[in-house]
Amino acid sequence: MHTAETIRHAVAEVEALRRESRDLPAIGAAVVRVKRLQARRFEGSYADLLACGPYAAAAGFFLQELYSDRDYAERDAQFARIAGAVEKLFPRDVADTAAALAQLHALTESLDHAIGRALATAGGDEAAAYVHAWKAVGRRPDRQRQLETVVAIGEEMTRLTRLPGLRLMLRMMRKPASAAGLGALQRFLETGFDTFAEVARQPGGAERFLATIREREGRLMETMFEADPVACGTELRRLLGQAP
């Protein structure tokens, strides 16, 4: 599948899920609850990185672009429109990274909606209901693929920041992107590039940051799949900053 087709297919999958949320308001509300809880959980898991230090901007970028409850409909629509241009104008490795981002977004939305559907019928408090929904959905290989894709994209973006000329190319795209109504996508690309460039300036900095993501997310995933619901709920409440 070519890059443009991959991007358009991924965006179409996301739009189908959004349509379900519009048609079934109870599911839509549950998905919003899932995203908000996951954003708070991410803040708890990486409170030390978000607070200050060399990884604060990178952790903030992950929170805003991967774990936020923001509406990405505008950016996705722009991503679909520019899909052909990405394939034609950018080097192959940059285009491949854009396609991987689109596929990651589709996978993440699929998992969030699956949790949302299960959460809509789950009882108990917030943490207990989320744990029940997580275990009911399962999909461990997809969870592992999600994590590995996040890390792989981070590694590739780090590599791309070290290639001469790419930052200048992005800067030159600002006016054409704005004129074409692609401002949201342009901001996303520039922010991501600058964030990883800053981390990559420190010797081994990007590698340590991504290793931290892999270790903490992998540990939480193992807990959610392997531990009993009570232990899962306790750990989740800790990360959410809730009293036991």
Residues of the chain falling short of pLDDT 50:
none
Position 176 scores a pLDDT of 66
> pLDDT value at position 100?
84
- Residue boundaries of the structural domains of the chain: 3-240
Q: Which two tokens stand for residue 187?
A: 């901001």
The span from the CA of 57 to the CA of 17, in Å, is: 30
The whole-angstrom separation of Cα 72 and Cα 105 is 10
Separation of alpha carbons 7 and 96, rounded Å: 10
Distance, in Å, from the CA atom of 96 to the CA atom of 108, rounded to the nearest integer, reads 18
Tell me what pLDDT residue 65 has: 73
- DSSP string over 78-98: HHHHTHHHHHHHS-HHHHHHH
pLDDT, tens digit, 9 for 90 and up, residues 128-169: 999 999 999 999 999 999 999 989 888 888 887 777 776 677
Among 137, 112, 95, 132, which residue's Cα sits nearest to residue 5?
Answer: 95
Q: What is the pLDDT of residue 86?
A: 64
pLDDT score, position 90: 64
pLDDT for residue 110: 95
Pull the structure tokens for residue 93: 């490795």
Look at residue 82 in the predicted model and tell me its pLDDT.
65
Residue 214 CB partners (closer than 8 Å, separation 6+) = 147, 151
Structure-token pair, residue 137: 């959905």
| Among the listed residues 107, 83, 76, the one whose alpha carbon sits nearest the alpha carbon of residue 3 | 83
